[in-house]
Every structure is written in structure tokens, then in C-alpha cells.
Amino acid sequence: MKRIWFWFAGCLLAIPLVLCVWGFVLPPQYRETFLGELSVKCERLAEPSDKPRLVLVGGSAAAFGVDSALLEEQLPQDRVVNFGMYAALGTRVMLDLSEPLLQEGDLVLVMPEQQQQTLSDYLGAQALWQAADGNFSLLRCLHGQDAAQMLGAFPQFAAQKFRFWCSGGPQLSGVYQRSSFNEAGDIISPLCRANQMPNGWDTTTPIRFDAELLDETFCTELNAYAARLAEKGVTVWYHFPPMNAAAVEPDSDVDAYAALLQNALTLPLAGDPNACILDSGWFYDTNFHLNASGKTVFTRQLVRDIKAMLGDSSPTEIALPEMPEPVLDETTATALDSTDADCFTFAQTASGLRLTGLTSEGQQRTELTVPGTIDGQPVTELSTEMFAQSRALRKVTIQENISALPDGLFEGCTSLQEVVLIQPDPGKLAVGRELLRGAAASCRLSVPADSYERYVLSYAWSSYAPQLKKQ
């Protein structure tokens, strides 16, 4: 009996040791991924400069939204450093990493995405582990209260790193990799040529302007950041990111929100937020990511806002490009299953049918497949509340006809164990940050085996890595 207990105790002690070896000793596996750029951005920001710098701090809206070379051309007194990275890291991470690297005379534009996650004290533990792989000094940005969250995320990070090491490293494709960044930290890719979102916007991330977004902790931390930097001779302004007009919620009072924000912050707001709300034709794959032409449009506005703040009345001579036509989905149609069509209620939309709920038969089912068509009409959208309180449901299959999964889709589905995603390309299936809010904690997202790695490394899906599994 003692031997069994000794063996059991040995296994318990060995597991953390093995995970530490995988996480800290194995060669870096995430260096060439999108998040691998964070270490490079920190190195770039740490470089001495013979002239003041204009530093953009925020998420990927800054990385996709600014042409640093054009900024430097219009503002020759400054060297531009694009320190925009990834919303899922959390704005606090970017503030804390940038602060010790800023120099006297620098001008910082804080530019978080207009969404709950970035306007809070949020920390993306899994994303930070990946970004720090090979340069764990990045973890200096952590606060004491982050310890439990980081420790909880470490086993998943270490295990995935081990799997990548065994398979020869992540297989990268598309925009979301380190090679897409230029020397200034901007995203530069021929893929970002036009809007590729169905109907021109990502329905999973509507853009809101209301007082609920004004997180007190976030405002306090940002004010403290600006105050500490002021003592170093660094100026900090707040600037809104580029925002897709099609995604802005109806009846939004942008001016009222800006006034509330300015009242909560001690640092000034640069520019008019209304000027940052751009036509959907200037965007690429999210409501905050601009395409190549849109980047020029927003950079011109940014130059004008900076000049106005500095009292510079000189003209801004930047020719506007033509708005590109949206990219049409050229995916070959596949046979879709509509056997469960009678289990769903629906409403007509301009593009097809939106599923709104379940019929009495659907409410009793343990397994459901979202149909491709109902009465010959294509099913194109899912309502947030369509599975509300479906406590009998254990398995749901989502086919390729669906391009967006709204937050809280499975709220109240306490028996749900598996969501099967047929779509092989994660870039064609939009998802918010709270898809599984209110669902069973044991629920897993099953993806095509050949696409598993793409989902794990996907910009939108990487935060769901602990819940992803191969079909």
C-alpha cells in the first residue's frame, strides 16, 4: 500500500516538473507566430533615438490601422514606433511593457479598441505565455493578482508547446504571423486588400458607446500611467481606433460617450471620435482592422489630429485612395445537412434566414445540426438567444453556411458537451470572446483535425485553445 502512495505522490510531483521542462526548457515554438512580434516590438521601443518618438500603444487596431512611414513623412520631427499588438493580451499589458522603455520627449497615443475587454483590467494569460515564449522577461508586466490566472494557463501553454515541438513547430499561413509586420511594427500584407467580412462587418463584435464601458479600474490605471510618464517628460494622449461604421450600434451617442470618457481621464482626447468611424469598405477582417487603402485614410486623419493638438496649421497633403470592392466568398459550396430544419424557428433577413430559437421538438433533442436551408432558403445567421436554456442539449453541429457565432450563444445549455465546427478555415468563422458564457464548463469545441493548429493560432480563436479538440 505504501508503494502505491509513494508512486502516486511521485507522479504528482513529476507532472509540474515535466510541464516546467516543456514550458521553459524546450526551444521557443511561438517566435514566428503573430504573438512572437511582441518581443520584437519591445526591443524596437527600447532602442535609443536621436529625435522624439511618436509611440502608438494598443491592440491590433493600431498594427493594422497605421502607416508609420506615411506618419513620419508628414511629421518629420518624430520617429514612429507602432506598439500595437493584440487585444486579447489586454491593454494593461501593453501599458506596463511600454512604460519603462519610453524616453523623455516621446509622445504616446493610447489607442485601445472600443470594446469591453480592452477598456478594462483584463489580462490574456494564454496569449501572454505564447508571446513570452523565448523571452520570459516580458512577464515583468504582471501584477501580484495575476499569479493565479497565469499559473492556471501554464499547463495548456506548456502542453501545446510540447505538441508543436514534436510536430516540427506551428504551420503558419495567412496574415497572422510575425513575418506580416514591417520594421516599424505595422501589418503589411497583400492579403489585406479589401473587406472580406459577410455583409461588411463582424456581427460578433458590435461597437458600443455607453457609460457601461467606462471601467473605473481601467481609467485609474491609465491616469496613473500618464502621470508617471509626465514625470519622465513623456506626453500621453488618448485616441480612438478606426471603427467600422456598419458595426456601430444604432442610436449611439458618440459625443456624449467621449465627454464621459474625457471627464474620467486626466489625459487629453486627441481628435474627434466621429472621424474615426469609417465606412465598412475601408476594413479587412474585423471591425477594427483596416485594409491597405483604409490604413491610408486613417493615417491621414491621425496626422490631422496630431497637428491640431500641437497647434500646427500646415496642410496635410495625403491623396485618398479609391475604396476597394469587397472580396466575394469563393468557397466551393458543399452539401449541407438540413435534416433538423423542423427543430428551429426563424426570421427572414436580406441575405437569407436567421435562426431565432427552437421548436418544441428542438427543445427536447439532445443533438442538433444547424440546417443549411429551411424551405429552400439559406440559413445564414444565428441569434444570440436561439439555444437559450436548452438544458437537454448535449451536442450541436455548426456547418459552413454559418459565418459568425455570437457571444452567449449557448448560455444556459448546462448539459452541452460538444460543439462541432465543420468550417475548416477559422478565418471564415467569426467569434466573440464569450461564446461559451453560461455553457457547461466541460463543453469542448471540436474542429476538423487538419485545421486544429490553425484554430489554436487563429487571431479570433486562440483564446479558446483550452476548449479546442480535434474531430
Under DSSP, the state recorded for 57 is E
DSSP reduced 3-state for 55: strand
pTM: 0.90
Q: Which residues, 6+ apart, have CB-to-CB distance to 334 below 8 Å?
A: 400
Torsion angle defined by CA atoms of residues 310, 311, 313 and 314, in that order, rounded to the nearest 10 degrees: -30
Give the residue-averaged pLDDT of 23-37.
96
Up-side HSE of residue 208: CA atoms within 13 Å toward CB? 12
**Which pLDDT does position 351 carry in this prediction?**
80
| Average pLDDT of the residues in 90-99 | 97
The predicted model gives 451-470 an average pLDDT of 91
pLDDT of residue 5: 59
Q: Which helix (H) or strand (E) holds 306?
A: helix 292-310
Please state, in angstroms and as integers, the Cα–Cα distance from residue 246 to each residue in 64, 146, 346, following that order. Answer: 18, 36, 23
On whether the CB atoms of residues 185 and 63 are closer than 8 A, the answer is yes
Mean per-residue pLDDT of the chain: 93
Residue type, 274: N
Going from the C-alpha of 396 to that of each of 81, 165, 265, 326, 365, the distances in angstroms are 45, 32, 45, 31, 10
Lowest-pLDDT range of 12-26, 129-143, 196-210: 12-26
| Whether the predicted pLDDT of 313 surpasses 60 | yes
Residue 265 pLDDT more than 80?
A: yes
Q: Which amino acid is at 25?
A: V
Pairing mode, strands 344-348 and 353-358: antiparallel
**pLDDT attached to residue 9:** 60
Q: What is the pLDDT of residues 31-74, one digit of tens each?
A: 999 999 999 999 999 999 999 999 999 999 999 999 999 999 99
- Residue 409: name the closest of 370, 375, 379 by CA: 370
Strand order in the sheet with 235-238: 79-84, 53-58, 107-111, 235-238
CA atoms within 13 A on the CB side of 313: 0
Percentage of residues in the chain with pLDDT exceeding 70?
96
Question: 258 vs 87, 213, 251, 280, CA distance in Å?
Answer: 21, 11, 15, 22
> CA separation (Å) from 196 to 60, 177, 288, 291, 296?
17, 19, 13, 10, 18
Per-residue pLDDT of 329-340, as tens digits, reads 654 446 899 999
* Dihedral of alpha carbons 62, 63, 65, 66, sign: positive
Q: Report the pLDDT value the prediction gives residue 7, as an integer from 0 to 100.
A: 56
In this predicted structure, the answer to whether residue 2 has a pLDDT above a threshold of 90 is no
Q: What is the pLDDT of residue 332?
A: 45
289: left (phi over 0), alpha (psi -120 to 50) or beta: beta
Is the pLDDT at 254 greater than 70? The verdict is yes
pLDDT > 90 fraction of the chain, expressed in percent and rounded = 86
> For the residues 261-268, what does the mean pLDDT come to?
97
Contact of 75 with 103, CB cutoff 8 Å: no
Q: pLDDT by residue (tens digit) across 290-307?
A: 999 999 999 999 999 999
Q: Which residues contact 21 (CB under 8 A, 6 or more apart)?
A: none
Instruction: From 111, 110, 103, 109, select the one nearest 52 (Cα to Cα).
Output: 103
Instruction: Sketch out the chain's domains with CATH numbers.
Output: 24-310 (3.40.50.1110), 341-470 (3.40.50.12480)
List pLDDT tens digits, range 380-402: 999 999 998 788 999 999 999 99
